[in-house]
Amino acid sequence: MHPQFYKSMYRKNNKENENNFNKREGTKTRSDNRRDRNFNSKERSFDKKDRDFDRPERRRYKSNNEEYHNHNSRFRSFEKTKRRGITTQKQQSESVRLNKFIANSGVCSRREADELIAAGFVSVNDKVIKEMGFKVSSKDTIKLKGKKLTGEKKVYILLNKPKDFITTTDDERGRKTVMDLVKNACRERIYPVGRLDRNTTGVLLLTNDGDLTKMLTHPSYGAKKIYHVELNKRLKQSDIQLLLEGVELEDGIENVDDIQFVEGFPGRKVIGVEIHSGKNRIVRRLFEQLEYEVEKLDRVSFAGLTKRDLPRGHWRMLKDSEVSFLKMHHIPKN
């Protein structure tokens, strides 16, 4: 016979012998184990149904029980209300005073806007508003004498101011102003941040962001300015100490934050001065009080902004990173 026949007979005999031995010894066979597993699984499933007897199946409960649907609908409406609440809070945080919105639209100043509001020329959503301090959001429709106003986007322009230009938005005597240099820069109504006198050159920021203007012009916010000063004579060491400690002027005592001689200029007549005061002509007045004449004055840095790669008389828009730097790094000292 074929060898395969002997192998199959051998396995069959061994299996029967194993079963007979297990029956004699009282042990379970493989078939018994399978039956036990099946029974145990049925028992477990029965126990599960017994535990969940009071808990209906989800699909049947969802389709047949109206209260389930009502509960879900209430939950969804709660979530929607919650989301709406978040949106409302965000809108409230973005709301601005009505006079500020009018001023930002380029029509007039805030003070003039208050007069227009009091006179009843301003309406919000077709309703005349005379209340001072009334707040509006971007979704409101604001009209001035029937004409719709639109809020302006914030614009930030850096100018390298040349000589013989007045730092003002308008000059009654018809002299050249810095606005003539940036008249084609944007459509928004911008204004200079701080002042540079007619003969002073250098960095000048122009914007329509009133909050940032306040931050950069108020001394408590610590906006630093660096000037290159060329004097008519050599600066004495004793006068350097006076400038650091404080010089008495007609409107109070003022001092510089730092003062250094500029390398590459002989005679010790060209110096670098760092100061945070925003008073009018403060650098010139300090040196005039010490009997020096300022022949040239150039602002090379303002609140961290420099005139690098910006020729005299030219301007450029600030980068988003520069705007963020101005807003994040200039906070009150107190």
Q: What is the pLDDT of residues 7-37, one digit of tens each?
A: 455 555 555 555 555 555 555 555 666 556 5
Contact (Cβ atoms closer than 8 angstroms) between residue 276 and residue 220: no
Catalytically active residues, by annotation: 197
- Own/partner pairs for 212-216, CB < 8 Å, 24+ apart? 212/156, 212/326, 212/327, 215/326, 215/327, 215/330, 216/302, 216/303, 216/326, 216/330
Lowest mean pLDDT among 6-10, 96-100, 108-112, 173-177: 6-10
- Nearest CA-CA partner of 192 in 181, 208, 176: 208
- CA–CA dist 312, 317 (Å, integer): 15
Residues 160, 76, single domain; the answer is no
pLDDT tens sequence across 225-280: 999 999 999 999 999 999 999 999 999 999 999 999 998 888 889 999 999 988 88
Predicted confidence at residue 278, as pLDDT, reads 83
Of 84, 100, 120, which residue constitutes the final position of a domain? 84
Predicted confidence at residue 149, as pLDDT, reads 81
pTM above 0.75, yes or no: no
pLDDT tens sequence across 48-66: 545 554 555 554 444 445 4
132 falls within a domain: no
- Nearest CA-CA partner of 324 in 149, 189, 156, 198: 156
Q: What CATH number does residue 268 fall under? A: 3.30.2350.10
| Helix 210-217, helix 320-329: angle, nearest 10 | 50
Contact (Cβ atoms closer than 8 angstroms) between residue 302 and residue 204: yes
Host H or E run for residue 142: strand 142-144
Total number of domains constituting the chain: 2
- Mean pLDDT across 318-331: 82
Domain that holds residue 168: 156-329
